[in-house]
Structures are given as C-alpha cells and as structure tokens.
Structure 1
Amino acid sequence: MKKILLLCFAFYSFQTIAQDFMPPLIDWSGKSESLQVAENHPWVTPSELDDLTTSPDYEETVNWLRKLTDSSPLVEMKSLGKSEQGRDIWMLIASDDSNFDPAKIREQDKAVLLFHGGIHAGEIDGKDAGMMLFRDILHGEKKHLLDQATLLFIPILNVDGHERRSEYGRVNQRGPREMGWRSNAQNLNLNRDFTKLETAGVRAVVEVINAYDPDLYVDVHVTDGADYQYDITYGYVKTGGYSPAISAFLSDKIQPEVDQALSDWGHIPGPLLFAANGQDFSEGNVAFSFSPRFSHTYGDARHLPSILIENHSLKPFRQRVLGTYVFLEQAIKTIGEHYQEIRDAVAADQNQPKDELIVKFGFRESPADTMEFLGIASEKVKSDITGREFIQWKGEPIIQQVPSLLMDRPVQEVSTPEAYFVPAEWTVVIKKLRQHGLKMETLETSTELELEFDFLTEYQLSPNPLEGKIRFQSFETKQITRRVKLAPGSVKIPVDQNLGELASIFLEAESVDSFFQWGYFMSILSQTEYMETYIMEPMIQQLLKEDAALRAEFEQAKAANPDWVNSPRSIYRWFYERTPYFDQNWKVIPIGKLR
C-alpha cells in the first residue's frame, strides 16, 4: 500500500509539460489561415473558439455535429454501433440530393470519399478539419463540393480513447491542449486490427466500406519521431502491393493535385517519413511495406484507393488542422474530376490473375534513388544521464540528399488454390471472413472432399503478446492431402472473386496477417488423447513381430539416435505416432485447399 501511495504522489507532483521541451518551432503563416471563421460566426467550431489550440470532448463534438445535421437536409448523422464502453460511433453522410441510402449511393455515378479522424484518438486533426469543412459545405460557399462527391465522415473512430484525454495524452505532439489515448478501452490499437476485426471501431469502418463502396479512403493520423520542414505528410502503397493500377492513379493524379493545393495554401507536403537509423535522416528514408493489419495496406489488398495521412507532430495543432482541411477539399475535387479513371483502376486490379500471391516483402539490396529532403539541422549530444548520445534538433531548415530505402522486394509467395474450405466448427474465423465481405458458399449437407492442408512440422511461439494475441515467432509446414468430411455450415471461399487476395492473405499460413499467425487456431497444438503403457508394450511387441518394415524402420531410428534409445517415453511416442489411434488432426491447420 505504501508503494502505491508513493507512486500516486509522484504523479500528482509532476507539473512539467513535455511540450515545454519540444524542439524549436519555425514560424508559420499561410493562406489556409483564412479558412478559420471569427468567434462570432454562427457556425464557428469549438476548436476555432480557441484559435485551433484545443479540440472538443466527445459530448461537445456530438452536440455540435447534431446541431449541424439538424440545420440542413443535405447531411445525415448515423450511428455505426457502440464502442466497447457503450458510446456511439457516429458517421456523417453529406449528399447533394439528400441521398443517404448505401445501395443508392453505390449505384450513383459519382465518387464517394470516406475519411475519419481519431483512429488513434490523440491524433485528432481529422475530426476538427472535417467539422470545419462540413460547416463550409453546408453553410458557406462550398456546397459545390457535393457535386463532385458524396462524403462519409467519421469524426472520432476510437471514441473511448478520445475520452481518455488529458494534458498528458501524447508526449511527442504539439497540441491540442488535451489529447486522447492511442489505444481503445481494451488497450487495443485500432490501426493494427484491419485483419482480425476485434475492435468496434474497425469493424464499423469495414462495414461502411462494404456497404458504400467508397472510391477513396483517407485515414488521418499524426506522426511521432524526427523533425523536418514538412507539415502534411502522407502515403499509400506505391510499390510492393496488390493494386498496381490504383497505385499508379494515386501517384499520377491524386498526389500531384493534392501537393499543389497544399503548396498553394502555404503548407509543405511530403511523403511518409521514417528515419532509417531511427533518429535522423542521414542514412535515408524508409518506405516500409506495411502488412494488411494497417488501414491503407488493407485498402490496397481489397483494391480500395487508400491514403494514410501523417501530419507532423512537431507542428502546431492549428497548422496541422488547416493543412488537413486543404488536403480533404482537394481530394474531393480530384476524385470528382477523375471518377471514371478511379473505377477503371479498381476494375483492373480486381481482375488481376490470382494464381500466385506475395505474402512477404523485404528491402531492396540497394537504395532505389535519392530524394531532396527538407530537413531540420540536428546535432548529437552526449547525455549527462546515460552517457549515450541523443539527437537534439536545432530548428534550422536545411536541404539534404537522402537515400530512399524501399521495402518492396518479394521474399515469399504462395500458390493459391481454386478455393479454400473452412470447417463449420471454426465459427469465429467464418464470421470474420463474412465481416470482410468475402463471397462464400455455405455447405448445407455433410460433404466429403480430398483437400490439401498445411501440417506444422516445427514452430516457436513469440514470448511477448501483440494486441492481446500470442503469435508465431517462427514455423515450418509441409503439405498433406487427406480426405475429410466437412459438416454442414462449413464454407467454401473461391479465390476468383474481387476480394480473392484478401482470402489468401487471411487463410494462407505464411501470410504475415493470416488468421493462423494471429493465433486463431492455437488449439491444434494440444493433444487430448493418449495411450497407456500397459497397452503400448504388448501392442509394440505384436507389431514388431508381424511387420518387418516397421521393425527395420525402428532399427534405423535407434542407430540414428543413440540417446533416443534411453528414453522409454520417446520410444513409446514413436510407435504411438505410427498407429491409427494417434490424433490425425494434431498440428494440422484446418484450412482446406482445393487444387
């Protein structure tokens, strides 16, 4: 009890705010400052009342949005379900003809933009930018944007994390004054959940994607990490993905037009930035191959044009929000003007051959090229506390030439089958496949089939959990073919469908984000039946007497493993595995493949 009290006292006496120790700030002003309205404007947002230095809590946000919705027939406010703590996850739909029905929106000959803020609730720029943008569409001079696209806006995705807000919410970020928490109420990171769908927020997003079929999906974040001049950085799967036609469209159309708009309005756009050495960019910028557990990579895998915005955490909240507004406005214009090109790109990627699938990428052996990098000067300083060097940013703009390190080299691929079969008893996996929108056939009667399965020959579990799951650190498999009887309720998932790549990503064991690697089949590692030695001993005697081939194999095993002979348990086990009494399902990953 004394230790707990002392710990609490230490927290209560902690009056220092991390922002007092931020790197020097470069002064900024830009044309986008004109997007703010005055405090006496009838539709001023709560954030603008504080000059975009604060962000409203959940209740104030919802009340303002409900009032906005009630003021116009062009917008509807819809609950996507409840969070883990029981809060509504709200979405706004804006349509120029007051059309809010998902089926009708899918059928209309017009682009659809889906964007959300607060998947990491402290990174809330998208919420406040979206509120300002919707205000200007409904009560300003930008109603024409609805001629270009129908808008789907989820202001706060991680609503529970949003309410775990304080001045200590995000230590590496320059505002707003109070910030929410990165993970949800169950301490799960929503932007690691796009394959396993264990959080209410991400399930809601996937349901929206399935229902409305958007043409562009934008996930608004804020970075951590190094200092640089760029304020609005963003990215998408350029290479090493599953949608090359979409990647080309994003590169050729979206990026140039968005970059130009941001520059025109006084911002400095840049690519996603990850320092190769984890500190500064002297050794290059890394373009990672993210797996489909992340929002934009999941979008790429299901052939949905998807962009990840990472506003720079060391820039003020006001600057980041205004830049996000500019980004979203231009994105609406661009997808409206190039709508048919988007649909053509999506169709091309959906119709790709699906015989092979790359499930793992690695770095190229040498840098792809160099980029002109708008950096900030830094120096290495020796710590008086640890004795080690650390990076100290000096607030002085510099221009560098840095290598671009691309992680798009295929490392491992699998040959995909004609179809996958998931037995009826694996209900959780079947449910998740349905939630993702995969087409499947449910078997109505008991069905016998000869299928291929993966059998685990070696495995090692990770010593540490990830997102509440124990994953595999390493494993090896071999393919086996067996005739199985599938119970009614089992499902057949053909690979030849628009989301065929997703089926393989989820169901091929080697895929980084397969349901196997996420631990949904852990029970196959357990054995529940066994044989007593008083049965094994006379049975072995009989088998050795009658089966010359078994007798020869046993002698070879003893010669190859001298120590093994001294282990009665190992000998009994060796024989047991060669009897029909041994568990034939042990270590067999229960996903059947029809070749």
Structure 2
Amino acid sequence: KNALAFAEIFHLLKPDVFIDTHVSNGADYQYALTHLFTQHNKLGGPLGGYVHSDIMPKLEAALSGKNWDITPYVNVFNRPPETGFSQFMDFPRYSTGYTALWNTLGLMVETHMLKPYKTRVEGTYELLKSMIEITENEGDRIKALRAASHEAFTAAATYPIQWETDTTKTSTLSFKGYESGYIPSEVTGALRLYYDRNKPLTKAVAYQDHYKPSVEVTVPAAYIVPQGWWPVVKRLKANHVEMKSLEKDSAMTVEVYKIASYQTISSPFEGHYLHYNTKVTAIEETVRFRKGDYIVATLQPGFRYIMETLEPGAPDSFFNWNFFDTVLQQKEGFSPYVFEDTAKKMLETDEVLRKTFETEKENDKAFSGDWFAQLNWLYQRSVHYEKAYLRYPIYRVSKAQ
C-alpha cells in the first residue's frame, strides 16, 4: 500500500523534479553529502544529457560555494572506494528510477551514516535549498526538455529494457577519502577492512558513469491485458495508464511471447523471489479475447511505465516480480500406459516427427535410455500439451496492424 500511496501522490503532483533523502553506508570517506542522480543514459533523451552536464555541475558548484563538499554516491560495499566504482543503476524499483519513467528529474541525497546527525541534517537542508534555487531558475527549460524526452521515446521504433556499463567511457573523480588497509580481525581472525581517519587523502578515482543498452525491444502499438490479471490491471490504473475495454469478444492477430528461460534469486527480496535474465521467443497468432479485456496503447504519458512493466525481459517487469508465476507451473501431464498408444500413432502418421525423434535418440545417450523422457518429448509435441505453460499472458499488437 505504501507504493500505491506513493504513486497516487506522484501522479497528483506531477513533479518536474523529485528529491529523495537517504542515509548511506558501504565505505568511509570525508564527505557528509553524496548525490545520486537518476542514471542519465537511462533517463535518456535531451533531458539525460542536461542532468549530467548541466544540473549536476551546478548543484556541486552551489554547494561548494557554501563550503559543502559533495561527490557522486559511493557505489561500493566492503572495499575501498579509491579502487574505482560505477554509477548506481537506479532501476524502476527505486524511487528515482520510478520517477524517470515519466521523465522526471530524480535526485537521491545520500548522507554518510558515520557523520554527526546535525551535520547530516544541515547538509541535506543546504542541498535542498540549492536544488530548489536551481529548479526555480531552470524551470522552463526542465519542462521543455521533459516534453522533448517524452516525444523522443514515443517516436522511437525500439525501447531499451536492459543496460550495462559502458567501459569505453570513464570519468575521473578527485575523491576525498581516507587511507585504508586490511588488519587482522579480533573477532574472526580474518583480515578486515580498516580506514584511518587520521590520514585523509585526495586521490584521482576512476568513475564509470556511462551505461549503454544491452537489450532493446520493438515498441508495439498496444498491449492486450486479459481482465483476469487484476493485480496487474490495478497497478496500471494506479499509475494513470490509459486503457480501453473491449466492447465484445474479439479475435485478433497478436504477437505471443513464450518464456524461453529465466533465473530466480535464492533469497527473497522485498517479499518476492525475483526472476532475472528472462528471455522470450515470439510468434504471431490469432487469439480470442473476451469482452472487458484491456487494450493498452503505448502512445500515452505512461509509455515508459508500460514498457518497463509489460515487457517480461525488463528488470522490474511484472513477470520478474512474480505476477505471472502461475504460467511457470505445468499443471497437466500424461499417464504413460495411456499415452503410449497415442505416441505410437504420432510416430506412424508424422514422418518428420519420427525422424526428429530418432535423431534425438541417436545424439543423446541419456535420452535414448530414458523411456519417460522419450514419452515426455512426444507429449510436448502433441495436441494435448498444456498451451498455457510458459506462455506469457500479455499480448503485443504490432504497429503494422
């Protein structure tokens, strides 16, 4: 409910700039303040470059004029930051990643946990004041760039759903840290990381602050969401996604995804066993939809939210957050003593199938010695095989239609 309440407030205000305030951990260094702007390549469009090359330097300069040093969020854990680090990738599960889906300029303030509370509060206050002043001066430009970014995204033929560090582009930070090393732990006897605050240092540190798309998908004209998936419909509505209900039962030619592979984390995250590295195959098929099913056009203000949640390969898709896990379970099977006769008939009447089956046995010794695997192989190619198994239940309508 907290997330739904946050969405309600966000869409009520429709902010041009969003700021979240946090406390950071992971390493020790001289800074009380660090900034975590939404990743500029992912924010994309003309707005992304503006945040990286204009807004961020202006904020740093404004705070420097108030004697507040600030650096990008120190994205390390249990290792010295002087070895270099990359910009944090704020996927849509994070507040600034979520607000970026509406081309809102997002900023996370991270104050250092080991600095005095008074210092952290004062630093946050000065940062907020500086950012408000910048926003006031740049307001018209920010609004124009937000609109331009939306137009650029919705006009594109493809949309990036996965990202990777661009190792060809590296920045250098003049980083203010402390000398560090490893000393024997008095608890475990193993070596532990140690920072010497009596030995501050300033060092040039490699900072990888550029990302590039690793997976892109074509943008459909619309998605069709069957009404039975009400938890998904509820979240689309909560995020002001425009939808139309089918007025009657209809047959439509659509693109259908099959889940080809995926992985799942071993421990729960926020109450979910998230999937990742999800890959799909696609076929075109005529599907019958029911009156009341939803057509979600992509050309609308919620374009990026739609793409990030309904494309199963996106890191924070509804699929990866377990909304469609029922399609991952095969509920139907076969009784070997009954299916034997059907399998025999299949091989007798389908020469291509028979040859493929024989080739499979010749090339796979384990398969050739496993009678159940052989029957299951044939069952998967029969008309009785469960159609819904691994079939992604959200459908894509091509722009060509």
Whether TM exceeds 0.5 here: the answer is yes
Structure 1 position 252, deviation (Å)? 5.0
Q: Distance in 1 between matches of 2:209 and 2:177?
A: 20
SS in structure 2 of the partner of residue 290 of structure 1: coil
SS in structure 1 of the partner of residue 42 of structure 2: coil
Per-residue displacement from partner, 1:161-207 (whole Å, max 9, x unpaired)? xxxxxxxxxxxxxxxxxxxxxxxxxxxxxxxxxxxxxxx22222211
- The one of 360, 374, 380 equivalent to 1:577 is 380
Q: How does 1:30-429 map to 2 (within 5 A)?
A: 200-251=1-52, 253-275=54-76, 278-352=78-152, 353-366=155-168, 368-395=170-197, 396-406=199-209, 408-429=211-232
Letter in 1 for 2:12: A
Contact kept, 8 Å, 2:249 with 2:291, in 1: the verdict is: yes
SS in structure 1 of the partner of residue 51 of structure 2: helix
Contact kept, 8 Å, 2:82 with 2:175, in 1: the verdict is: no
Per-residue displacement from partner, 1:354-400 (whole Å, max 9, x unpaired)? 32122222223356121111222333322233333323222243211
Q: Distance in 2 between matches of 1:428 and 1:420?
A: 16
Structure 1 position 423, deviation (Å)? 1.3
Structure 1 position 499, deviation (Å)? 2.4
Match of 1:506 in 2: 309
Q: Distance in 2 between matches of 1:268 and 1:553?
A: 68
Contact kept, 8 Å, 1:354 with 1:496, in 2: the verdict is: no
- The one of 523, 530, 533 equivalent to 2:326 is 523
Per-residue displacement from partner, 1:395-436 (whole Å, max 9, x unpaired)? 243211111123513222222222111111111111112212
Contact kept, 8 Å, 1:429 with 1:520, in 2: the verdict is: yes
Match of 1:142 in 2: none
Q: Distance in 1 between matches of 2:311 and 2:166?
A: 24
Contact kept, 8 Å, 1:257 with 1:330, in 2: the verdict is: no
Match of 1:70 in 2: none
Contact kept, 8 Å, 1:354 with 1:501, in 2: the verdict is: no
Q: Distance in 2 between matches of 1:283 and 1:454?
A: 43
Q: Distance in 2 between matches of 1:444 and 1:370?
A: 58
Q: Distance in 1 between matches of 2:44 and 2:352?
A: 53
**How has the CA–CA distance of structure 1 residues 477 and 238 changed in structure 2, closer, same or farther, with 3 Å as cutoff?**
closer
Structure 1 position 534, deviation (Å)? 4.1
Letter in 2 for 1:212: L
Q: Distance in 2 between matches of 1:373 and 1:450?
A: 56
Contact kept, 8 Å, 2:112 with 2:120, in 1: the verdict is: yes
Structure 1 position 493, deviation (Å)? 1.6
Per-residue displacement from partner, 1:244-265 (whole Å, max 9, x unpaired)? 3323343455434433443333
Q: Distance in 2 between matches of 1:529 and 1:375?
A: 60
Letter in 2 for 1:229: Q
Q: Distance in 2 between matches of 1:315 and 1:492?
A: 52
SS in structure 2 of the partner of residue 282 of structure 1: helix
**How has the CA–CA distance of structure 1 residues 394 and 558 changed in structure 2, closer, same or farther, with 3 Å as cutoff?**
closer
Letter in 2 for 1:529: E
Letter in 1 for 2:7: V
Contact kept, 8 Å, 1:243 with 1:300, in 2: the verdict is: no
Q: Distance in 2 between matches of 1:379 and 1:583?
A: 58
Report the number of matched residues. Answer: 395
Query: Bigger shift: 511-520 or 442-451?
Result: 442-451
Output the TM-score relative to the length of structure 2: 0.91
Letter in 2 for 1:325: Y
Per-residue displacement from partner, 1:90-147 (whole Å, max 9, x unpaired)? xxxxxxxxxxxxxxxxxxxxxxxxxxxxxxxxxxxxxxxxxxxxxxxxxxxxxxxxxx
**How has the CA–CA distance of structure 1 residues 561 and 259 changed in structure 2, closer, same or farther, with 3 Å as cutoff?**
closer
**How has the CA–CA distance of structure 1 residues 474 and 343 changed in structure 2, closer, same or farther, with 3 Å as cutoff?**
closer
Q: Distance in 2 between matches of 1:557 and 1:256?
A: 62
Unpaired segments of 5 or more residues in structure 1?
1-199
Q: Distance in 2 between matches of 1:432 and 1:279?
A: 39
Letter in 2 for 1:380: Y
Q: Distance in 2 between matches of 1:378 and 1:534?
A: 69
Letter in 1 for 2:245: T
Query: Bigger shift: 285-294 or 216-225?
Result: 285-294
- The one of 379, 392, 395 equivalent to 1:589 is 392
Contact kept, 8 Å, 2:170 with 2:210, in 1: the verdict is: no
Letter in 2 for 1:576: Y
SS in structure 2 of the partner of residue 203 of structure 1: helix
Letter in 2 for 1:244: G
Contact kept, 8 Å, 2:78 with 2:193, in 1: the verdict is: no
Greater strand share, structure number: 2
Contact kept, 8 Å, 2:96 with 2:107, in 1: the verdict is: yes
RMSD of Structure 2 on Structure 1 (CA)? 2.2
Q: Distance in 2 between matches of 1:230 and 1:224?
A: 12
Match of 1:493 in 2: 296
**How has the CA–CA distance of structure 1 residues 336 and 526 changed in structure 2, closer, same or farther, with 3 Å as cutoff?**
same
Contact kept, 8 Å, 1:284 with 1:402, in 2: the verdict is: yes
The answer to whether 1:536 aligns with 2:316 is no
Contact kept, 8 Å, 2:73 with 2:88, in 1: the verdict is: no
Query: Bigger shift: 322-331 or 526-535?
Result: 526-535
Output the TM-score relative to the length of structure 1: 0.62
Q: Distance in 1 between matches of 2:347 and 2:49?
A: 66
Structure 1 position 287, deviation (Å)? 0.9
**How has the CA–CA distance of structure 1 residues 580 and 361 changed in structure 2, closer, same or farther, with 3 Å as cutoff?**
same
Q: Distance in 1 between matches of 2:263 and 2:49?
A: 39
Q: Distance in 2 between matches of 1:583 and 1:384?
A: 59
Q: Distance in 2 between matches of 1:418 and 1:204?
A: 30
Per-residue displacement from partner, 1:327-361 (whole Å, max 9, x unpaired)? 22222222222221111011011101332122222
Letter in 2 for 1:279: R
Unpaired segments of 5 or more residues in structure 2?
none
Larger Cα-atom Rg: 1
